[in-house]
Structure 1
Amino acid sequence: MALIDVPSPDSTQHEVLDYFRKKADGYDQVDEQVYWRLSDQLLWEALQEYVLPHVPVGGRLLDAGGGTGRWTQRILRERPDLTCVLFDLSPDMTRHATAKAEEGGYLQRLTVVNGDLMDVEHRLAGDLFDLVISFHNVLGFVADPDEVLRQLVTLMAPGAQMALVLPNRYHTAFFNVHVGMLEDAESAVSDARGRFTPDMPVMHLFTPELLHERLVGLGLTVSVRTGFPTLIYPGYQETQIEGTSAGVFRSLSDPQSYERILKMERRMLAEPSLAERGNNLFFVACQGPAS
C-alpha cells in the first residue's frame, strides 16, 4: 500500500476539506441509518449485476473521490484479484480507508493518493484502469465536473467502464422545497447548483439528459442510465451522520416493509425512464460498444 501526499489546496478546496474534516471520524456511521442501508443495497446490487462481471481478472480500479473507502472495501473484498487506487482530496477521510485496508487484509492491493480531481490526469499519468468509479456527491464538489470527467476518461483502459453516482438536480430542488430552504431550491432550478444543508459547500448538480450527452461527447457508450431510490426519499435527518426522519422510519423500520420496498425499488432501478425520480443518478458508461 502506498500513500502519496496532496499539494497545497486553494480556497475552494479549503472549504471542502474543512467540511469533510469535521465529518471524517463519524462518516461511516451512515451505515447504521436505514435509508442509506437501502440506498447502498441498491447500489451494490446494481454493481454486481451491471458492472463487476465485466471487469477483467487482475483488473485495476480507480475510486475517484473514494473518501473512507466504503466502496473500495466492498469491491476489493468481492474481487480479491483486483488492485485499486483511491484518489481523494481529504487526508482525514482517506486515513480511514487505509485503516480498513489494513484490518481487511487488502493493504497491499491499495494505493491512496491525496489530491484534487482537477489534477487527476497529471497525478496518475501513465496509469490505466479497467473500472473507474465516482460515487455520490464527489463530482458535485469539484471546480469543473466536465473537465474531471474528461481527465477520468483518459485514464480508462480499452474496454474499461465508468460507474457514476451523482446528485440529481431535480431531487435537490424538491428536497430543499420540502425542508423550507427555498433559496437553495431556487439555485438548483436556475443555476444547477445546490446543497442539502447550510453547512455543505455548494455543489454542481446533474440531470440524466445532460449527463448522458457529456459522456457520449467524451466518446463513451452509456450502458446503464437510471436513478435510486425512487419510491422513498431522505428527510433532513438523513443528511446528518446519525438519526432517522419520522417518515423514513415509518416506511423502513419494519423488516417486512423494508423488503417489500426494496423489491419495488429493484424493479424501478431497471427502468431508465425513471432516472429523473432518483435521489441519486446512476450511470455506467464504457469504452467502445456496451457489453
Structure 2
Amino acid sequence: MGHDDSAVRPRHATSAARTVVLWDDLRDSLLELEREFGTPLVVVDAGGGTGGDAVPLAELGHDVTVVDPSPDSLAALERRANEAGVRVRAVQGETSDLTELVQPAQAHLVLVHNVVEHVEDPDSALRDVVRVLRPGGMVSLVASNALAAVVHRALAGHPEDARRLLSSPDGRWGATDPMPRRFTREQLHGLVAESGLTVLATHGIRVVADLLPGRSFDGEPQTVRELVALEQQAGRQPELSAIATHLHILARRPGTTEAAE
C-alpha cells in the first residue's frame, strides 16, 4: 500500500510542529510492517480516546480498534470516524482488559500513547499489550518525560517543584502534581525490556514547541514550516530529546512473520 504523506501527518500547523516526529516514526513503522506482513494491518490503539491517531491510520486502509474506558471519548471517536468516512472499532475497556477484548497475538501494531503515566501498574499494562501483539509486531509507546517537567517548572517560576522532580522516582513534584507519574528515558527502556520487547528507536516529541508561546504558530507560513522542520530535527537528536515533553519509543516483539501464521 502506498502512502500519501499527508495522510499520516496532523493537518493543523500547531499539531504538526508538536507531533511531526511521532507521525514520521509511525509512517516508517507502517511501511516496514506492510513489507513484512502485507496489508491491511491490524492496529490496536490502547487508550486511544477520541481517535486522533486511530482515524488517520484507518484512512490508510488499516483495521483499527480503539480500546478506551471513556464512553464519551468513544462516542467522539465514532463521530470523527464517520466524518472521515472510515470505520474504526470502538471498544470500552481498560488496558488490563485488552486480552479479553482483542484476540491474542493478532495485532501488527499497538499504540500505547500517554497511557502508562496513568495506569496503576505500568509493567502489567505493557505485558497485556504484548499479549495481543503478534510475533514481529511493533509497539508505539509515548510517555511524559520527567526531565522535561523539570525544565518546564523552572521556566514557569517554580524552582522548588523542579528540584523535587529531580529527586522523585515517579517524576512528580509533589501532592499537587496532576500527573500520576513521569518517566526518564532509562525507566522507559527498562519498562519495555521487562515486557519482552526490543527497543528499535527513541525520539523526543515537542522538544522546542512547548517552550514557545502559542502565537509562534500563528505567524508567517514560512516561519511555521521552519518550526516544524526544527522540531523534526531536534526530536531525533539524543541530547535535545532529553528535554522533550514526551518520549516516543518504538519497540518490537521478537519473532518472525511465519511464527504468527
State TM-score, norm by structure 1.
0.73
Question: Aligned to 1:90, which of 39, 54, 70?
Answer: 70
Contact 1:224 1:272 (C-alpha < 8 Å) held by counterparts: no
Are residue 262 (structure 1) and residue 228 (structure 2) matched? Answer: yes
Structure 1's 181 and 95: CA in aligned 2 closer, same or farther, altered over 3 A?
Answer: farther
Q: What SS is found at the alignment partner of 2:209?
A: coil
Question: Does residue 143 of structure 1 match 2:120?
Answer: yes
- The residue number in structure 2 matching 1:58 is 40
The letter for the 2-side match of 1:174 is V
On the 8 A contact 1:62/1:133 being kept in 2, the answer is yes
Shift of 1:206: 1.1
What letter matches 2:19 in structure 1? D
Counterpart of 1:36 in structure 2 is: 15
Which residue of structure 2 aligns with residue 106 of structure 1? 86
Preserved contact between residue 221 and residue 289 of structure 1 (Cα < 8 Å): no
Q: Structure 2: how far apart are the matches of 1:252 and 1:289?
A: 46
Structure with more helix by fraction: 1
AA of the residue aligned to 2:72: D
Choose the corresponding residue for 1:169, options 135, 146, 149.
146
Is the aligned partner of 1:134 residue 2:112? yes
Distance in 1 between residues matched to 2:152 and 2:128, nearest whole Å: 31
Q: What SS does structure 2 have at the residue aligned with 1:277?
A: coil
Cα deviation for residue 231 of structure 1 reads: 2.7
Tell me whether 1:286 sits opposite 2:238 in the alignment. Answer: no
Partner of 1:240: none
Q: Is the 8 A contact 1:226 1:273 kept in 2?
A: no
Structure-to-structure mapping, 1:230-245, within 5 angstroms: 230-234=207-211
Letter in 1 for 2:189: H
> Is it true that 1:122 corresponds to 2:100 in the alignment?
yes
Contact 1:226 1:274 in 2 (8 A): no
1:192 CA drift (Å):
1.9
Question: Equivalents in 2 of 1:152, 1:231: separation in Å?
Answer: 31
Give the drift of 1:138: 2.2
Q: Provide closer, same or farther for how the CA distance between residues 275 and 40 of structure 1 changes in structure 2, counting only shifts above 3 A.
A: closer
Q: Distance in 1 between matches of 2:158 and 2:11?
A: 26
Specify which of 229, 236, 243 is matched with residue 277 of structure 1: 243
Secondary structure (helix, strand or coil) at the match of 2:120 reads: coil
Q: 1: CA distance between counterparts of 2:45 and 2:20?
A: 19
SS state at 1:204 partner: coil
Q: Is the 8 A contact 1:220 1:286 kept in 2?
A: yes
Give 2:102's aligned amino acid.
L
Q: CA shift at 1:273, angstroms?
A: 4.3
Following superposition, the deviation at residue 58 of structure 1 comes to 2.1
Task: Confirm or deny that 1:179 pairs with 2:156.
Answer: yes
Distance in 2, Cα, partners of 1:39 & 1:112: 26
Contact 1:208–1:275 (8 Å) recurs in 2: no
Maintained 8 Å contact 2:144/2:182: yes
Count of aligned pairs: 240
CA spacing shift, 1:36–1:192, aligned 2, 3 Å: farther
| Secondary structure in 1 matching 2:248 | strand
- Separation in structure 2 between the aligned mates of residue 39 and residue 183 of structure 1, nearest angstrom: 27
- Give the TM-score, by structure 2 length: 0.81
Q: 1:48 aligns with which of 13, 27, 37?
A: 27
Change (3 A) 1:175 1:53: same
How many Å apart are 1:127 and its aligned residue?
5.7
Equivalences for 1:66-85 in 2 at 5 Å? 66-77=48-59, 79-80=60-61, 82-85=62-65
1:102, 1:275 → 2: CA distance? 36
Shift in alpha-carbon separation, 1:289–1:207, aligned structure 2, 3 A: farther
Offset at 1:87? 0.5
Gaps of 5+ in 2: 1-9, 257-261
Per-residue CA distance 1:193-240 (angstroms, 9 max, x = gap): 448xx7x843221111111122123222211111122233257xxxxx
Residue in structure 2 matched with residue 159 of structure 1 by the alignment? 136
